[in-house]
Structure 1
Amino acid sequence: MNGREMLVNYFRALRRVSIPKEVVGLGGCRTFSAGGGKAKKGSKGGGTADAPKESMLSKEVKSTAVVGANILKDGADPKILPDSEYPDWLSHLLDKRLALSELRRKDIETLPYEDLKRFVKLDNRARIKENNSIKAKN
């Protein structure tokens, strides 16, 4: 049995697992607001009057060097090279991958192997978080 068949069998088994309604109702979501409620008079919060300050660097420097990438005391920022100078795999790091909710809507039989592996990883992570939150409330 190869890796793909094992993953498909794993999810077929998970579909048979039922979760009681009481457990599903316990899963809460805590969110935090950026402002933290009403602003106090004289507070240092970011108001609408504060505009972002423009960078002191010229556009020419920004387009030819990676600003802030220098880690050496006496070094200079590395120059940006043409795309042909970089390896092919580097551009794939910017590709958007599907979220767990989108992967759940798709048929697992038709998913590519890489998406199936990602689905297993994200699904396991979500179930562990849910189980930990249920245990923490008890």
Structure 2
Amino acid sequence: MINAGPIRIWIKIMALNQMRSLKSVIIAKNAVGVGQRTFAAGAGKAKKGSKGAASDAPKGSTLSKEVKSTTVVGANILKDGADPKIFLDSEYPDWLWHLLDKRPALSELRRKDIETLPYEDLKRFVKLDNRARIKENNSVKAKN
């Protein structure tokens, strides 16, 4: 059985980030009004949808605990979409569990014999070596 830890941790981090960004928007909205003069609506005109100060108060969560534990609340980025569901570990692809594995750095790969490297490490070595050479060439050109 595959461990669900990384996915659940990622989901919690995403939810916390959403809450933090929402709090910062609310705080920024409140801070803008401090010290600035505002104009009242005309005597005969009322704001559209205005029902007094009670409607401005934040409302509590109406989501049940079951919904909170089976979906990633607030992760939907589509206008017509729904929040993604949390699946069992066995329903996720195998490569997902290896995304956070440590991969060798270029210095480690240079110390090893290139002939004996596995294909994935050899691919990584070529990519990192090319990147390092391009950076070096760019810095030499910038100095001239």
TM-score w.r.t. length of structure 2: 0.48
- Higher helix share goes to which structure? 2
Higher gyration radius (CA): 2
TM-score by length of 1: 0.50
